[in-house]
Chain A
């Protein structure tokens, strides 16, 4: 598995911390997930006077790597300010960079994203940009200093899975050395397994677990799927073919007409 800015993770499961029925359910879901990274979004208002301290402490107590994110930021300036706040609160250089361009689809504003990524990288941040599968944008992000890319599977919270298989496969092939994380749009464990089978290094999800009837059980299911997909990717899967290929020898087999 490729490492993330020099940090090797135990597994490819990154789990969000929003929308759970309660912090206790959140902690339970993390325990069952075995996730190696927790993402946490920071609101400007709660960062300024550290009003969110109690909740952040609960996140820190999970004992996993923390990836703060700039969720809900609509401009470069807003994202950069939030990133600075996050660095102070969580004492980490990691930042998941979201610059939202469209309110309905929560599609990234890739122009603002590249600019914010450059500003933050120059400032010593280790940026995890939430982007699309666009190869040109991906290349600009790498030039801006990013060493990890996080293409979407589908719009945030949609649960639609991998919407553009061709694009995602092309991205994996195009950047063989860059750690790639499928971020957003996953609804089911099978979709997470598929992402890992394609050779992605990790998946990041939140709603699929937080809004499940039993978040802890769903977190466990995703953990199994991610593990399966990861194992499959390293096992060099067979190539699909159009014709049947018998798995046992046919010649010499006794048969009756």
Chain B
């Protein structure tokens, strides 16, 4: 049986573990912490499985590879909600909506009446929007926990240690899934700061992620159920410090208020900030040096692209297939 050690138990590490276990590998996952938590940026993710919407600014592989995500997460966690996603803009920013429509596929234009039918709580505030019917979303923390629980019951061993992947690779096949912490080994990896909020607002009910386009402060709101919402997310070049800036909070909350003034009465449950790991083209990479495989650079597409990234790691190990996101450039 192939034995593989995975370093990092965030979304990338757990997905790789799932795929390798399903292929029959003897898998150990080593992470600094015991279980998913705020130390991993996937903990703070939005959990939108929205490949078409991402196509507005992302390269083609994101749209294509992201199509695998909803089915994968559904099969392995059962946490997926398939209600599509809705994109709206305030009347003054309709030019942004027109551009978004031109840059993406898989959407239908919706009128004020149709928006109100899809999302009664948006009322008649938005004259037009785009409905991406095939898209889905999940709750990241529930999905990570479910994935981990499934792995544990299938015999995957979880160890808590601050591990050096190179050290493990000297003893056997190792996959480095440490995200931004792998910067010590990946010189072209950079951090892109993201800030988010979790609100409790029982006055508002939404059925699907809503994106509010804005030239400076684009916002998305993802319903988590029970009146809880995730608000995200800023995207700032530079590794994150420990704190969210007042400006980011102000902008996120103002945008939420524009979406529905009832968000003004919400309770702020959590404020999150972390660094998304990204390569210069914002696409993920797999690199291999002997026994050490590094899978990284999921950027803002952790839940969207981790299943495809994991599949490629599995094919590389078991079939020798060179992944399309593999580059041999030494870091």
Which residues does chain A contribute within 8 Å of B240, judged by CB atoms?
Answer: 51
Give A241 to B278 CA distance when docked, in angstroms.
57
Residues A54 and B245 in contact, CB atoms below 8 Å apart = no
- The residues of B that contact A22 with a CB separation of less than 8 Å are 59, 278, 280-283
Query: Within residues 65 to 94 of chain A, which ones have a CB less than 8 A from any CB in chain B?
Result: none
**Given A21-B58, A51-B193, A45-B280 contact (CB < 8 Å):** no
Chain B residues within an 8 Å CB radius of A211: 99
Task: Using CB atoms, name the residue of chain B closest to A50.
Answer: B238
CA distance A211 to B59 in the complex (A): 14
Q: Quick check: A46 and B237 within 8 Å, CB to CB?
A: yes
Which chain B residues lie closer than 8 Å to A49 at the CB level? 241
Most B Cβ at <10 Å: residue of A22, A24, A43, A157: A22
Q: Do the beta carbons of A52 and B238 come within 8 Å of each other?
A: yes
* Chain B residues touching A, majority SS: loop
B320 at the interface (CB under 8 A from A): no
List, in ascending order, chain A residues with CB within 8 A of B59's CB: 21-22
Q: Is A240 an interface residue (CB 8 A)?
A: no
CB-nearest residue of chain A relative to B58?
A: A21
Which residues does chain A contribute within 8 Å of B193, judged by CB atoms? 46, 51
> Which residue of chain B lies nearest to A159 when distances are taken between CB atoms in the complex?
B95
Q: How many A-B residue pairs have CB under 8 A?
A: 53
CB nearest neighbor in A for B99: A211
Q: Give the interface size bracket for A toward B.
A: 10 to 19
Q: Which residues of A contact B99 (CB under 8 A)?
A: 211
Closest-CB distance, B181 to chain A (whole angstroms): 15
A40 to B281, CA, bound (A): 19
Known: A21-B282, A43-B236. A54 touches B190 (CB 8 A): yes
- CB pair A55 B238 closer than 8 Å: yes
Whether the Cβ atoms of B190 and A55 lie closer than 8 Å is yes
Minimum Cβ distance to chain B for residue A21 (Å)? 5
Contact yes or no, A157 B238, CB < 8 A:
no
Residue-wise interface mask of A (41-59) relative to B, using a CB-CB cutoff of 8 A (1 in contact, 0 not): 0010110010111110010
Q: Complex: how many Å from CA A217 to CA B190? A: 26
CB of A1 within 8 Å of the partner chain:
no
Q: Does B112 contact A (CB under 8 A)?
A: no
A23 at the B interface (CB under 8 A)? yes
Q: How far is the CA of A51 from the CA of B274 in the complex (A)?
A: 12
By a CB distance below 8 angstroms, the chain B residues around A23 are 190, 280-282
Name A46's closest neighbour in chain B (CB-CB): B238
Q: How far is the CA of A52 from the CA of B282 in the complex (A)?
A: 16
A residues 3-59 in Cβ contact with B at 8 Å: 21-25, 27, 43, 45-46, 49, 51-55, 58
B206-243 at interface with A (beta carbon < 8 Å): 215, 236-241
Residues of B within 8 A of A53 (CB): 238
B237 touches A55 (CB 8 A): yes
**22 A-B pairs whose Cβ atoms sit less than 8 Å apart in the complex:** A22-B281, A23-B281, A23-B282, A24-B280, A24-B282, A43-B236, A45-B236, A45-B245, A46-B236, A51-B191, A51-B193, A51-B238, A51-B241, A52-B237, A52-B238, A53-B238, A54-B191, A54-B237, A54-B238, A54-B239, A55-B237, A213-B103
Please give me the 4 A-B residue pairs with the lowest Cβ-Cβ distance, nearest first. A52-B238, A24-B281, A54-B190, A46-B238
- Partner-B contacts on A (CB < 8 A): 21-25, 27, 43, 45-46, 49, 51-55, 58, 157, 211, 213
Besides A22-B283, A54-B191, 9 other CB < 8 A contacts?
Answer: A21-B57, A22-B281, A27-B280, A45-B236, A51-B239, A52-B238, A55-B238, A58-B280, A157-B215
